[in-house]
Structure formats: C-alpha cells, structure tokens
Structure 1
Amino acid sequence: MPDPTADRPATPDDVDAICAALPDTELGTSWGDVPTWKVPAGEKGKGFVLYRQPHSTAIDPATGEPYDDLLVIITPTPAEKAALVQDADNPFFTIDHFRNYSAVLVQQSRLGEITRAELAEIITDAWATRAPKRLSKAYFSGAGG
C-alpha cells in the first residue's frame, strides 16, 4: 500500500519517524552528547543522521549567526553528495568542514522544500551506507525495500 504522506512536504518530525522505522536503529549520541541516529543499535552503531549543534564552521549568511537547526546526513558517495548540493531545487548544502566527507547538511526549517518521500530516500541511503551489509541486503530484498 502506498504511503499517503509520501508527497507532502517533509517536516522535522519525519526525520525521527523515518530513522526509527528502519531496521536495527537507535537514537544515541556521538561526539560527546550530539543526538545521532545509529545502525546497528548498540555500541557498534555508526551514525547516519546527526543533529549538529551550532558551531562557528556553519554560519547563516543572512544573520551571521551559527545555524541552530542543522542535520548532517551521510551520503553513499561523493558523487551523490555533489548531486544533492548542486541541485538548486534542494535545500542541501555543505561547508568547508565537510569538504572531504560524504555528508550533506540541511536546516530542519527547510525540510519542507522536499517531499517526505524524498527525505525518506535520502535517509534510507544514509542508513544503507552505515548498516551492516547483511542487514542492508535483507532490507532491500524484503518487504521493506
């Protein structure tokens, strides 16, 4: 059955809902106390979505202040990162701090510029990049993929 919410604008609440619906995930912390969605759940978990704290490396050009609502989402490859940040229709961007790292940033306040389905696809790709191969393969070959 198709998701009736797929075509509506994405919201910040969708981030947690999408992450929680993926297999073997947990909301933990990384970099001290930064909320981070990880896969697999437990000590060996690797972050795939991070709620970034305001920092001087990411300044809003309109206000001159650090962004206070950033998400960091892992991308599978540098090419996929480039595709997301170079598409003028997407709210994704990068900063010098992430120059050599396959991840994009997005303000939660701008998530409505993409659909929930688009956000789910980007987060699922991030999850698959960090998930154990066995788990990812099972997900994509089963009902969830």
Structure 2
Amino acid sequence: MSRPTQVDPRGLRFAAGITAVVLALVLVTPRPVSLALLTFQTAVFAIAAFVSLQRSPYAITFATLVRPRLGAPAELEDARPPRFAQVVGLAFAATALIGFALGTPAVGYTAAAFAFVAALLNAAVGLCLGCEMYLAWRRLQPVRA
C-alpha cells in the first residue's frame, strides 16, 4: 500500500489565513464584489479538494513565496484530513453561492460566516474543524483485518 501524500502544515495555516481574509471580505463588501470573491474561494476549495492541496492557488503562493524563506518543515502532515476539510469548505461556500443566487441572502451570509469561522480557527490556533470531522468519521469506520 502506498504512503499517503504529506503536506507542510505551515502551508495549510497560510492557506487558511488567506481563506479567512477572503471570506471576511465576502461578509463585508457590496454584493457584486462579494459574489466574485465567493466564487473565487469556491473554486479554490474545489481545486484543493478534488485536484490536490498542492495545486491550489494558496498552496502555490506559499510554496513559491513563503516556504523558501522558512526552510523545510520540522514534520509533515497526512493530506487526507485537510483535503476532506476542503470538501467541507466547498460545501459551505457552494451553499452560500446558492443562497445568494436564490435570493436568500441569510442562507448565503450564514454559510459564508461558518466557513469564515472555521478558516479563522485554523489560521489562528491551528484547529482544523474539517480535519477533526475526518478523524471522527475514520474512528467510526470498522477496523479492517
């Protein structure tokens, strides 16, 4: 069995920081700007979730501009929980877009706010709610012999 892909946890927190800023702007900017930002963030979530964490725009920015100044990480992290977290973020961002598109801004703002809080927690204190959901889900799976 092949070893799971490993990622730099500093890059994940960097991406969460950018995500938190983008989602904060979604919550406070006028509608055309906020929808453009939300659409962009939804695409970022989709790339990270379904293509690769390393191919998302935020990860590329980290790898190009930040990591060379920091050096190699002390340890790497399994990419599966953060990728699942990106799926969760994608679900909230898509729900927000759908809410706005259907004329229910309360749904849009609520979903965007939940995604913002999750990203902010990850960026500020390293608590990845989507990762914790993934680990809880894995604990509920039957053990394979």
Q: TM-score, normalised by structure 2?
A: 0.29
The structure that is helix-richer by fraction is 2
The structure that is strand-richer by fraction is 1
Q: TM-score, normalised by structure 1?
A: 0.29
Query: Which structure has the greater CA radius of gyration?
Result: 2
Tell me: higher relative CO, structure 1 or 2? Use CA pairs within 8 A at least 6 residues apart: 2
